[in-house]
Structure 1
Amino acid sequence: MIPLKYLGGYPPAVLDKVRQLIDRDELGDYLQKRHPGRHDVQSDKALYAYTNALRQEHLRNAPGIDRVWYDSKLDVISKALGMHTAISHVHGSRLKARKEIRIASLFRDTPPEFLRMIVVHELAHLKEAEHNKAFYQLCQYMQPDYHQQEFDLRLFLTWRDLAARSPQ
């Protein structure tokens, strides 16, 4: 049986359908049909502008973001796809916090829905630190199909792992 490490909390019926797609070698085709395009947010500067525009649209009262960038080490080292940090610096007699968001570089080559989903996820952490009901309601507010996109992203990560393991 194929381990589905990204789909651990889903019901057995859903996992069976995913395994059927994998067994028939149709998972990649399924994802390609659902998400045919690739986004054009390729540079760190464009990613910052994209993230800040989403923040302005949905979270005007949230703190500003000082830096957003694609991090090539994020996926490999911490098994995370995105991270938000608040780094405190002493500035004279004051303590100043910098808000930063790092997005795994694998999102440079994904459909726009996946990039939006991960950026929405990290932006939601500006208001809600924990993955609780309020956090997911905020994600759903910023991206109404958030849960479906998260599931599809998990399918994409599964397909990516399978493609990396299979002999070319």
Structure 2
Amino acid sequence: MRRSARATRVRIVVTLNKIEVVAPLAVTEQHLHKFVSDKQQWILASQSKLLSKAPIQTAAPIRYSANSLIPYQGQSYPLVLSKTQQKQVKIQFDNGFIVQHPDSLDDEQSHNAIKNALIAWLKQQAKAQVHYYVSRHTATYQLKPRSIIIRKQKSRWGSCGIHNDININWLLIMAPPEVLEYVVVHELCHIKERNHSPAFWRLVAQHLPNYEQQRAWLKQHGLALMHSI
């Protein structure tokens, strides 16, 4: 929400990363809430259109060196490197990947060490996010998995075994967060509905009313994401 003395009317600006409501100073909060509510379908349609046309940002760098771009949650962030006397690669994230790597390694060794450390870091983030989304969605309809496994899969984003073991592809941490959430919900719903019947998709929609946007993103960008690293 942004108030502007120059604004003459309420308007909504939809981008990939946010929805901004620009309003004159005198407009009441009640009017703004009604305006946004009335425009909800237009907002969702605009988001879906932008999302379907968004360029995929999941290409891993050929070399893991300074300023290389690393895909993470639908965006790309630069590597900021510094050498250290420590024996292990240390990674921090602050609007970019801040990486300390051993000064005893040559360029090729540094490349491999940084790559392996980043993959391990991304897997950990994927695990944390998946567990968060599971906890967020299990309670409503008691869709409780027996176990949650995070791993790279060659042709699947997720699966639900006969004993309700959930598998999620860690590469989804490089997609927008909403896409990862959709895949988690998709597999959770298979605990109750074992096929892709209308009842299954209704259950998905009860958790994520706008799931079709995320499904469309995967259809368009999934192949590139699957081969990104």
1:154 paired residue number: 219
Match of 1:59 among 105, 117, 141: 141
1:70 paired residue number: 150
2:157 paired residue number: 81
Cα pair distance change 1:163/1:65, threshold 3 Å: closer
The yes-or-no answer on 1:48 pairing with 2:131 is yes
How large is the RMSD of aligned CA atoms in angstroms? 3.0
**TM-score normalised per structure 1:** 0.57
The yes-or-no answer on 1:126 pairing with 2:191 is yes
The yes-or-no answer on 1:38 pairing with 2:73 is yes
Aligned length: 116
Greater than 3 Å deviation, 4+ residue runs: 26-29, 158-164
Computing the radius of gyration from Cα coordinates, the structure with the larger value is 2
What's the secondary structure of 2:167's corresponding residue? strand
The structure where strand makes up a greater share of residues is: 2
Q: 2:226 and 2:167 mapped to 1: Cα distance?
A: 22
Tell me if the contact between 1:52 and 1:65 (Cα under 8 Å) persists in the aligned partners.
no
Tell me if the contact between 2:182 and 2:214 (Cα under 8 Å) persists in the aligned partners.
yes
Tell me if the contact between 1:120 and 1:142 (Cα under 8 Å) persists in the aligned partners.
yes
Cα pair distance change 1:133/1:69, threshold 3 Å: same
The structure where helix makes up a greater share of residues is: 1
Q: Encode CA deviations 1:103-123: one digit per residue, 9 max, x unaligned.
A: 012112211110111011101
Q: Encode CA deviations 1:48-85: one digit per residue, 9 max, x unaligned.
A: 243132111x313x4x322212112x2x1xx2210111
Identity of aligned residues (%): 24
What's the secondary structure of 2:125's corresponding residue? coil
AA in 2 matched with 1:59: Y
Tell me if the contact between 1:83 and 1:101 (Cα under 8 Å) persists in the aligned partners.
yes
Q: 2:128 and 2:210 mapped to 1: Cα distance?
A: 26
1:111 paired residue number: 176
Q: Encode CA deviations 1:22-72: one digit per residue, 9 max, x unaligned.
A: xxxx9553x67xxxx82898153552243132111x313x4x322212112
Tell me if the contact between 1:114 and 1:149 (Cα under 8 Å) persists in the aligned partners.
yes
Tell me if the contact between 1:48 and 1:69 (Cα under 8 Å) persists in the aligned partners.
no
Higher RCO (CA 8 Å, separation ≥ 6 residues): 1
Tell me if the contact between 2:147 and 2:166 (Cα under 8 Å) persists in the aligned partners.
yes
Match of 2:204 among 120, 139, 148: 139
